[in-house]
Amino acid sequence: MKESWRWFGPLDTISLGEVAQTGARGVVTSLHDIPYGEVWTVEAIRERQAQIEGNASLGLTWNVVESLPVHEDIKRGRGDLSRLFANYRQSLVNLASCGIHTVCYNFMPVLDWLRTHHDTPVRGGGRALYFDEATMAGFELGILGRESAAEDYAPDAIERGLEWVAQATDADKDALLDRLMAGLPGAYDRFTVNGLRDVLTTYAGFTNTDLRASFSRFLAEIVPVAEELGIRMCVHPDDPPRPVFGLPRVVSTAGDVDWILAQDDSLANGVTFCSGALGARADNDILKMARRFAPRTHFLHLRNVAKAPDGSFGEAAHLEGDTDMVALLRIWLGEEARRRDEGRVDWDLPFRPDHGHELGPDVGRAAHPGYPFVGRLRGLAELRGVLAALEAPRHHRP
């Protein structure tokens, strides 16, 4: 399996030298400064490649794009989308011409991943990401003023959330909004409360059926070109895998993934298997889903979560939490062996340790939330150790 590391380009407080120190050799990144919907030019792609690969002593390569963003109008299915689809296809052509063939993307409306807390204490003074149902209910009802959110939360979560809002200062509320916006990568503007209300009105009455129709059109427009180019498109699951802000979610369950893969049976239409995002939903059987979707999985996000009965969840250490990571890695090694036996050139699955705890010198370093250095290094080391142990019998047979 190809050890990889997410790097946020020049915006990242973690240097490429430090990335190389982790032992990872693949770099997962994006061109965050290019507005959504615009073409990624060959020049821009090569400039980023030169940053990553220019120092040969580091031994790094840009092996996965995360993400090539899907413009919001494509998700809404609104207006003349021909230019946006053409630009997306041209970006894929340009990436392939530069030797990059794995492209992660998501189809979540408005926001990327979402957490209510970034500094939940863990053993010894570290800090972790957390999604708290009550805080989210309080934000939606007491700050955003989305009255229909009362249908989305349990009465106890609503009560606790509104109690928090009642005693929170303006600074507390602003800090919560900042945390909710942190999943938007790169240099893009974050929403104010009024701005978030405005953008949500553009999805008023928009259902899962509507979003699936937009997604189906996207796949029809993009997958044939990706297949010609040898590109593996891999959609990332919703995070959290449930509706938020009344927005539809269509990449949250096994049934959702079945539907996506059925739209086009090409290997170019695949999945980013995120064990943390999918694992945050109580009715998702992670090991069963991994076995089921392994043949169409092209990229792995490996992390663990610990779920609470009310739907809240926190980022656990990679070998802790609710998912049996050893069993999961055994599935991916088996899939790699199957691909090798078939003679496939893409058998070596890229993976990255996803979301880590802030540990030791991470605290105060101002890394992108969820992407500290030491915490992810711990996760990668743990995953590497499990993989070495699982592969040992194969390498040491008499």
Of residues 388 and 397, more confidently modeled: 388
What's the confidence (pLDDT) of residue 398?
43
Percentage above 70 pLDDT, the chain: 97
Do residues 117 and 105 make contact, with C-beta atoms less than 8 angstroms apart? no
What's the confidence (pLDDT) of residue 187?
43
Give Cα separations from 218 to 75, 118, 226, 369 (angstroms).
8, 33, 12, 30
Crossing angle of helices 208-229 and 82-97, in 10° steps, is 40
Summarised one tens digit per residue, pLDDT across range 58-72 is 999 999 999 999 999
pLDDT band at 325 (very low <50, low <70, confident <90, very high): very high
- Tell me which of 71, 298, 301, 318 is the catalytic residue: 301
Summarised one tens digit per residue, pLDDT across range 351-373 is 999 999 999 999 988 899 999 99
Do residues 219 and 269 make contact, with C-beta atoms less than 8 angstroms apart? yes
Q: Which CATH class is domain 2-113+207-395?
A: alpha beta
**69-76 average pLDDT score:** 95
- Tell me which of 104, 130, 274, 318 is the catalytic residue: 274
pLDDT band at 396 (very low <50, low <70, confident <90, very high): low
d(CA 100, CA 195): 36
Do residues 103 and 234 make contact, with C-beta atoms less than 8 angstroms apart? yes
Annotation marks residue 395 as catalytic: no
- For 342, the enclosing helix (H) or strand (E) is helix 325-342
Summarised one tens digit per residue, pLDDT across range 239-251 is 999 999 999 999 9
Give Cα separations from 391 to 68, 154, 337, 384 (angstroms).
33, 45, 11, 10
pLDDT at 109 over 60: yes
- Tell me which of 132, 238, 264, 354 is the catalytic residue: 354
Annotation marks residue 236 as catalytic: yes
Q: How many CB atoms lie within 10 A of CB 212?
A: 17
- Tell me which of 101, 318, 355, 357 is the catalytic residue: 355
Question: Where do the structural domains in the chain lie, given as residue ranges?
Answer: 2-113+207-395, 117-201
Annotation marks residue 318 as catalytic: no
Summarised one tens digit per residue, pLDDT across range 140-192 is 999 999 999 999 999 999 999 999 999 999 999 999 999 998 876 544 567 89
Summarised one tens digit per residue, pLDDT across range 281-291 is 999 999 999 99
**200-223 average pLDDT score:** 96
pLDDT band at 395 (very low <50, low <70, confident <90, very high): low
Single-letter residue type at 241 = P
pLDDT at 29 over 90: yes
**385-394 average pLDDT score:** 88
- Tell me which of 71, 101, 236, 298 is the catalytic residue: 236
Give Cα separations from 209 to 23, 75, 259 (angstroms).
44, 12, 12
What's the confidence (pLDDT) of residue 190?
73
What's the confidence (pLDDT) of residue 189?
62
